[in-house]
Structure 1
């Protein structure tokens, strides 16, 4: 893609990467990502995960909202389950697994 290409004409993965870049233009300390890999191909997911991990190393706080269990388990330092704005539970990475998360979701 060229610099002059309209964002709406980019692939879903490239649109997501542009959105993340826009969020970083003002020396952002915390970035909120809502379903950052929804609808993108596997290659773009990997690139987005690499960007997120790079930002974490640069001490940018990441709040990621995701409905994908493997994404939550693979990318999160902490996982919080919320429903209707109410916190249902929170797990540290070492305590997180699919069963524990599903238990919070169903409680």
Structure 2
């Protein structure tokens, strides 16, 4: 049990989780903090690759910035992340490479350099096939 609390404390501090106590019921936390608890549980397994599907959807701007900073820290440590997002600023700010999917298929692939919101929207709408 002590090891569990030590691990919880590590991720609580690292993710800047806002909870009254480590044993607080997750259902009593804000939506953003609930997202962080889920993320901490995944990360505690020490994965090499993580898939983040709309991880920041519905959380406040401050929590979103914290999540983005933590994702960048994990990437710097060697963790690969596949991020699924419908938010263009998040895609542009967090991605090294962008794959646009349309109708279940890859519609376009872009490197970070030179990617603009306009290119991304055109690819998603079917007006640009590839630019990698």
Larger Rg: 2
Q: TM-score, normalised by structure 2?
A: 0.78
Count of residues in correspondence between the two structures: 107
Match 1:10 to one of 19, 29, 54: 29
Unaligned residue ranges in structure 2 (runs of 5+): 1-18, 127-132
Distance in 1, matches of 2:56 and 2:45, equals 23
Q: Which has the higher strand share?
A: 1
Q: 2: CA distance between counterparts of 1:52 and 1:40?
A: 15
Distance 1:47 1:12 in 2: 14
TM-score (norm 1): 0.95
| Aligned twin of 1:65 | 84
Q: Which has the higher contact order (CA 8 A, sep 6+)?
A: 1
Instruction: Say if 2:51 is the partner of 1:39.
Output: no
Report the counterpart of residue 13 of structure 2 in structure 1.
none
Any runs of at least 4 consecutive aligned residues in structure 1 with deviations exceeding 6 A, and if so which?
none
Spell out, residue by residue over 1:37-63, the C-alpha distance to the aligned partner (whole angstroms, 9 max, x if none).
Answer: 111111101110111011001110010
User: For 2:112, which of 85, 93, 98 is the aligned residue?
Assistant: 93
Are 1:48 and 2:67 matched, yes or no?
A: yes
- For structure 1, the residue ranges without an aligned partner over 5 or more in a row are none
Could you tell me how far apart the structure 2 residues matched to 1:40 and 1:15 are? 10
